[in-house]
Structures are given as structure tokens and as C-alpha cells.
Structure 1
Amino acid sequence: MALAYDPVRESARTREEAPREALAPLAATLDVGVAKTVCLAARRDPVLEMHPDRPMRVLGIGVQTAPAIASGKPADFDACARAIQVSIEEAAAMAGAPIRRVVASYSGPGVASRISRGAVRLKSGAVTGRDIDSAINAALQASPTPNLAILHIEPLRYMVDDGEPIDDPYGLSGKMLAVEACIVTAPAEAINALKSCVRAAGADVEEIVAAPQAAALAVMTAEEREMGTLVVDLGAGSIGLAAYAAEGLVYAETVACGGGVRMTRDLAAKLQTTFAAAERVKLHFGAVGNACDPREAVSAPKLGLDGRLEAATTLRGVIVDTLTPRLTEMLLLARQQLSRAGFSGVAGPQRAILVGGGAQMPGVRELAAEVLGMPVRLGRPHDLCGFDQYEAGPGYAASAGLLRHRFDNPQLADVEEHFAPSLSHVASLMRDTMGKAWNWLRDNF
């Protein structure tokens, strides 16, 4: 039986749906790691963007533990795609809207960076936007990247006629413009595989960002960037490094050292147990250095004579003695790579920030400060709201940084087809359009 038209009910329904129709599309990020896959979804909030710290309100969270962490073996394509699909579906269900596009992170082996220089002659006698683009393209051509995908280009400094380095050369007079830029790359085959996994999960990739660089965007303050800071991402499969100076990102790399997976394997061999059981022991009782009482007895099941797990105990000192040497070795390798790239001593970062799942283990910060030879703190996303602060720990730094990157670099899809601008917005848009048109005419004629 058809319901009679109720103007009161219809008016209420219209009021409820009107704000929903005016909402901007979801912005979604995807952090794909060896241990877990994290998807965050959010929308632009004009009220929050007026805040000095520009906090972000997360509307949806999807977390899937990677199948690889249960066995210690690499996950196959289907398992990776499935983990991505489920995490996206969880975040979309919580946010109440579909997720069709994501900004993803890459934390696998092969992330590298180099400083490249490019120069062009000025045609009009003054630096234009086209000249800046041409100089950056010249820097790219001066540093060929066969079989590599370019993830990021960070212009560090410009020089006009070999003058003093400057941040913005636009409008300056001269004959020659030069630029020094940091170019971050990753293996093209690995990047294409990540894109294929995301597409198999039912979403498209807007952009891929190196995981340590993304984490830095979420945890590093302006003061730390000014003085020079190193972000260390302690992942399950590798260690990610991102060094910042006042000019911007100057170094990025992933060190394929096995990460937390290798530590778990060492612990499994020591305790004579399975990889999965050792992983649980590491998560609950793992520590390094002097962060715990070595005489404390804890539960650590081991394989019995029949090949099955049986109840057993061990001392936490045994766990510490197993994990500490391996983590020390990994941090020393990271320090050597940083020194090899020319970023050590006064020429390198003066502080370090630890992120990633491995950063939460007791004693890691103190051990890292000793090995790296600089002050170290744990990095937590400082501009997130919408879920428990405990969950937004160092392990969520990369996904939170991707969200900050996405909001700082809006996409065309952020403007919906039914968007109805106000008169003030139309006026502002006309001013911006006329200004851009004038700049284009000035640059090209």
C-alpha cells in the first residue's frame, strides 16, 4: 500500500539529506605494509582548516593484518589485493560513503633519492612559471632514471645567474636559471605491482608516496624541519629513512634489512617455536636494552616432541638478548647508509623521530639514540582527531601523513558536479581566473 504524502516528514527528510548532498567526496589513503594494511578516509572540514594546527577528522578506518605476518613468508598478489579490499571496505562502511580513489604509500625495497641540478636560459629576461618548470625538467633529464618510477620531486634551491640560493625566483631578472632538486624514485616494476593490487581491490590510485616521506608529514614539526631531522620508519620488512633540512626533503631511502620479520625469526629460533607464536611473544613481551626486568618470567609456548605447541615460559632477559643485537644491527646499517649519502655530523640531521610498528617496543627510543648518536623521540600523528589517540600511534604515521599530503594537494574530483557556488565564491573564482589568465599572457607573450 502506498504511503500518503506527508509534507512534515518530507520536509524533515529534505533537511537531513541536504547537508549530505553538499558534502565533498571522501579523500582516502592506503598504507600497504608487510605487517598490516591501513586505510583512512576523511573529508575536508572548513572549520578545522581555520585552526592554526589544521587538524584532520578521520571518518573511516580500515585495518587488516597482512597474511605474511602469520607465517613469515611473502604474501602473494591475491592475498595482498584481498587485504587492501577489506581495509577499503571497512573504512568506507565506517565513513558511510564509497571509496573509489586512494593515495597510497610504498615502503618496499628500492626507494632512493639523489640531488640533481638543472639549468635553462631565460627567454624574456625575467623568471616565469614556464622557466621554473623547464629548469625542473632539466634537472630530471640530467639524472636519468631507467626502470625507475619518480615518486617525488622536491626543489630545494634556485639560483639566478649563479647568484645566492633563493626559495622563489619568480619575477627576478637574469639570463640563466638553475635549480637543485631532490628526486625520489622506486622500482617501476614494484610500483606497477602496487597499482595492480589496488585496482584488483576495486579502487584507483591517485598518487604513490614513499612511506618514510609520508610519515614525516604527520609527525615532524616546523621547528624540527628547520634544524634538520631524520625520520626512521621501523617497518616489518625494512627501515625507511627520510632526512629533512630547512629547504625540504634532502634524502629518502628504504634499507632492506628484514625489519621486524627478521627479529621475529630470530626469536622463533631462540624459543624453538613457530613464527606466529614468536610474533605474539614479541608484541606482548618484546623489549630491547634495559627497558624491562630480565628476570621476569613470561608465557612463551614452544614446539613439543609431537610437533605441536605446548605451554612454556621464558625469561624476558632471553627475549631482550635476542632482539637487541638484531635491532642494533639494523640501526647501524641505517646510520651507515645515511653517512654514505653525505648526511652525517654537522652536515646531517640533528634529531631523529621514530615511527612504524617497531617504534612502540619498550627501549627502542633509548637504543636508537645511542646508536644514531642524536636525540630521538617517538613520532605520533599530531593533527588527527576522530579516533582513539592510542590507535593513532607511531604505526599510523604513514597513513596519517598520506592524508595530510592529500589535503595539501587537492584533486579536481574534490569539486562535485552538483556543487553550487555562492556569490562570494563566484567573485573569488573570477578574480583567480583573471589573475591566472594575466599571468599566462605575461609568461607567454
Structure 2
Amino acid sequence: MIHQAVGPRGWPWIGSLPAFVRDPLRFWTRLANGYGGVARYRIGAEQHFLISDPQGIAHIFRHDTVRYYRGKYHDLLKPAFGEGLLTSNDEPWRQQRRLIQPLLTKQRVSNWLDIVVSATAATIEAWGDRRDEAPVDFFEGMARLVQEINAKVLFGRALPYQAQPALLSSVSAINGSLLRQVKRAMIWDGMLNRLPLPDVRRFRAAANTLHRTVDRLTAESRPQVDDDSLYGGLTRAANETGSPPETFKIRDQLITLFLAGHETTAVALAWIFYFLTEHSPWSERLHGEISTVLGDRTPTLADLNRLVLTRQVIDESLRLRPPVYAIGRRARVDDEVCGCRIPAESPVVVSPYVMHHHPAYWHEPERFEPERFEPDRVATRPAFCYFPFGGGPHVCVGQHLGMMELLAVVAMVVRDFRLTAPPGRRVALQPWITLRPKPDVRLFLARR
């Protein structure tokens, strides 16, 4: 029997908007714990639904692109991301996904491990031995590193040095503005976003900087037949279809992959190193494993596959601080999820953060415990208790590249450095479009 989902009544006119704006993570977590696997809440005049039941999440992902689609909140991404894989729907999305996915398989991305290793080695060399120096801003350091890796993976060339600071600032401006725009879009049909507000102006300027940089890199790259860059692969794949290249929005795909891959990986690395300083015994255990597997060598793909403890630490960090903490869809038709009616055009949210902290599926969910990802324990948990890369047809297309980067960077840094945090410094959550640390993660480095 279908029944109505329940949730907080909220305030007249605005519903639960104040609680959501103040702290969306806390708001959604309370909804999941207080109202069950399908919770209803109102923002303005519109009813929203939070799905926090594993079977319900599986249903959403299974029927993604058929019963659900990306709605008006995803449209806010288009001035920065263009009409790429992250913002498109239906047949344009399917065409783009078919083009890109074969280029980002686990086997294909392994060809770029040398790029990851070389860029990480250069970063480590630049750090030198900072035993008596000021702490390093690890988020900025990881952002610069991932930016350099992505430029070489996507375009086969280094990012111009003079473009790096402006591009980092642009990514931060885009990230910081988008969540504010999403919140404003929930009331008065997004009218406030059409005003020349300061953060909207910064967002547009930042998007222009990003686009100019990508246009410059594509103009200078001119992929050849044997070009191993993603730009080269996309161009060849598009030509082989016989369709006009503009069908696949290659420029927009490159912008999307550069921006999304840069931000999520840099955020993940910052949190991983933060947790290792908070739990130093694990840092030493990882150093032992990494030293045994690698010795003084640079890592190979076979080496990365042997870093079992390192992978568990990465998984636990992604559980506690998933860079993508919420995934939004809109119902295309009336639907039923876990016995609850979801009316057509209703916004629906599934949250990796909420599920990764759900006490029904994780014992002491706030505790850092990498042993949770031992194979026998993983086998006992339902699917979609843990999904840092999303799921269904829209699962992150770059997940294999991202995980390879995380493993290689963590292995090389932990092998060479002992990391410690300044005394008394605590880092909170900053839920922008990704789950950034606040303030930045600053760590002392000492050569081992």
C-alpha cells in the first residue's frame, strides 16, 4: 500500500529553508534519523524527498535517466561546466557517455600513472625538508598537484605557470558560489540569481577564466594520431562515429572533466592527510606497508594493487568526508520508493554523507576505523551504504582515474614524509558543492 512520506512541518511560506541553509548536512542527517528511509520536507512551496534507505537509493539509481532526471539545480552548473556530461540529460547525455566511458576504463587510465607519479615526485622535491618551516597548506598543495596532473592527462601538456594561481582562484569561486545559487534557486523561482549579486559576478568571471584556459590548452594541443591525452582520445572517438564533432560537446566535456576531477580529488586528498595526522598510528602502519611494497621505487600499477591498508584508509576517509556529499534528481513521472509516493517533478536527494554516517549501517559512524573495509566486513553491508562515486548510469566516469591518483599520491607522500598538525588546530566541514575542509588543512612536513 502506498503511503505519504512524513517529515518536519517547517515554517509558513518558507518551510525548512532556514535549517537547510544553515547546515544542510545536519538537516539531512536529522531527517534520515528521525523520519525513516523516505523523508519529506518543504522548501518554499515545493516538497522535497530525502532517500536514506539502501533499497530506495538502489531504486533511484536503477531508474536514473528513465524515471528521474537532472533538473533546474543542475542548470545552474551550465555557465561553468557547459553542456557536458554533468549537466546533460537523455540522448545528449547517452551520446556523451558512450564516447567518454571507454576512454576512462581501469585499463586505459593506467597509461597515465607515469604522469601522476612524475607530478607527485616534483611536488615532493619542491617541499624538500621543511622540518623547521611553517606548515604547508595541504589543500592548496593538493589542488595545485591535481591541477597539473589533469592538464597533462586531458591535454598532454603542462598548465602554463602564469595561469595556475588564477585558475585555482576560479575553481574556488565557482565552488563557493554554486551552493549559494542552489539555495537561492529554491525560493522565488531563483529570481535572486538573476540579480548582479557579488558572488554571481565572481562566478561568471571565474567561469570565463576557466573557459579561456581550456580554450588555450586545446588550441595549443592539436591532438595527433598517437596522442595519449584524453583530448586526443575524444577527438578520435568523435571522428570515428561519423557525426559532427559538435554533437559531443568536446570542449564542454574537457571543461567538465577538468573542473570536476580537479576539485573532488584535491578535496579527498586534503581530508585523507588530515585524518592521518589525527590518527598517527595509522600513518605509521601505512608507512610500513608502503615501504615494504615500494622500497625506494616509484609505484607501478601492480604496487598500488598491493597497498591494502592504504586503500582501506582512503575508503574510510571517503566514507567520513565524501567530496560529493549529495546527489540531486527530479522525478520525471509519479513513482513509488519504499512504499512512499513520489509525485512527478518532485526534487529527490540521495546523500553519500548521510548514508556513510547512518547508525543503522555503521557502528560508531563518526569514528575513524579503516578496518570497516576489510573484505569480510564489506560483504555484510547492504549496497549503497557506501557510494562515494555515486551509482547507476551516472556513476562517476572518472572514478578509476581518481582512485589511482589517490593511491599513488598518498603512497609517495607518506613514504617520504612524517605529517603532523599544528597543536589545537581543528578542521570543520564546509559544504559547498564539494565537502571542503574549513579552515584549510595545514600540516608540518618532516622527511623520514
- How does the TM-score come out when normalised to structure 2? 0.24
Q: Which has the larger radius of gyration?
A: 1
Q: RCO higher in 1 or 2 (8 Å CA, sep ≥ 6)?
A: 2
Q: Counting helix residues as a fraction of each chain, which structure ranks higher?
A: 2
- How does the TM-score come out when normalised to structure 1? 0.24
Q: Counting strand residues as a fraction of each chain, which structure ranks higher?
A: 1
